[in-house]
Amino acid sequence: MKQMKQSTLRRLISIAMLVVLIILFSALAGTKFLNANNFIEIVRDTSVVAIVGVGVTYAIITAGIDLSTGSIMAVVGMTMANIYAYTLWPIPIMILLGLIVGVLCGLFNGYIIGKIGIPEFIGTLATMTIFRAVTYIIAVKDANGVIMSQPMNISTYAVLGYAIGPFYFVVLAMIFFVVAGQILLKYTRLGTNIYAVGANKKAAALSGIDVAKTRMIVYTIVGLCAAVGSVFTTARLQSATTAIGDGFEFNPIAAAVVGGVALSGGSGDVVGMLIGALFMATLESGVQKLDMNNAYQYVIKGVIIILVVMFDAAYKNRMDRAAKEQGAKEGME
């Protein structure tokens, strides 16, 4: 009790960053930014990032990364588009098959990382191009063989993009994923194992944890999350194109990093990632409402990630040293 828990302090810092950002934009853009509808929009824009972010958070806690989420979304979207275009199967079956494809993509990542031992960022960088290429290969084509955007506007599907009152379905799904994701992380053996693998693989193995299996499960979960993200994205757009999720992989990683999920592994949680995702969506919205060139958000996001990571690295260094000194002192009591 002598000092605040490191993770609590980090949580407070991310919340403070979010609050400062909201105050800043409110001051600069006034009611254009500060109104209920805008906040509903911000939360809606946060949702897909946060859903995919649950899986990505797991991956980062195991000291990994996943760069292929955007491409998995594309494959899943295009799978569903094919079913939509060429079959009369019911919508739930279409969605189910889409999710299965996402899980398989994740499983493939998990296999090459967990079993073969390819470094995470190289492996998922490779599958990022593979899944994108597959998307082009299976893309729905018109009579002349030219890739086209497949409309998916049947009401039973498009309804997923709608809202009940102020609550979009995607927001409800996000809430479900964040809550379930946090529970899985904190109250199941898998969750504990994820932390253990990220903090110290050797020690985890010594304690009887199957490291390869844990990593495989984690990347499979990422695949599932990306697939769900794809379902909501295509439902909102009411169409599927080969460009779905292009560059998307950046967002959940950025959200997690800003929310205090350390890339060195073993720390952070889903709630932190959610705050990070809200921060990023707020930033986007603010840049828009200030009528700034949309491009500024890319620069600002990049700079913020570097600053946050630099801060975390320096801070961790200090805390480690403090812990050592504390340990030496406490021996005495």
Q: What is the size of the binding site for another protein (CB under 8 A)?
A: 79
Contact predicate 224/102, CB 8 Å: yes
Stretch that binds another protein, among 74-82, 173-181, 188-196, 232-240 (CB under 8 A): 188-196
Binding span for another protein by CB under 8 A among 84-92, 165-173, 221-229, 307-315: 307-315
- The amino acid occupying position 91 is I
Closest CA to 228 of 175, 156, 276: 175
Return the number of the residue (95 or 124) whose C-beta is nearest another protein.
124
Can you tell me which of 149, 192, 238, 288 binds another protein, judged by CB under 8 A?
192
Q: Does 204 bind another protein (CB under 8 A)?
A: yes
Q: Binding marks (x or -) toward another protein, 226..245, rule CB under 8 A?
A: ----------------x---
104 binds another protein (CB under 8 A): no
Beta-strand (E) ranges in the chain? Answer: 150-151, 163-164, 167-168, 239-240
Q: Is 275 exposed, middle or buried (0-12, 13-18, 19+ CB in 10 A)?
A: buried
Choose between 152 and 256: whose C-beta lies nearer to another protein.
256
Residue 146 CA to residue 139 CA, distance in Å, equals: 9
125, 211, 237, 290: residue in contact with another protein (rule CB under 8 A): 125
Consecutive H or E run containing 28: helix 6-29
Q: Work out whether 11 is an interface residue with another protein (CB under 8 A).
A: no
Q: Residues with Cβ < 8 Å from 222, sequence gap 6 or more?
A: 52, 55, 56, 58, 59, 66, 69, 72, 106, 109
Q: What count of other Cβ atoms lies within 10 Å of the Cβ of residue 102?
A: 30
Q: Is 330 in the site for another protein (CB under 8 A)?
A: yes
Pick the closer one to another protein by CB: 163 or 320. Answer: 320
In the complex, least distance from residue 73 CB atom to another protein, rounded to whole angstroms: 16
**Subset of residues 152 to 181 that bind another protein, contact rule: CB under 8 A:** none
**Binding letters toward another protein, positions 37-76, x by CB under 8 A:** ----------------------------x-----------
Among 234, 267, 282, 285, binds another protein (CB under 8 A): 267
Is residue 196 a contact point for another protein (CB under 8 A)?
yes
Contacts of 189 (CB under 8 A, 6+ apart): none
- Find, among 30, 7, 27, 47, the residue nearest to 280 by Cα: 47
CA dihedral 173, 176, 179, 181 (to 10 degrees): -80
Q: Which stretch binds another protein (CB under 8 A): 88-96, 156-164, 172-180, 312-320?
A: 312-320
Interacting positions 74-103 with another protein (CB under 8 A): none
Told to check if 146 binds another protein by CB under 8 A, we report no
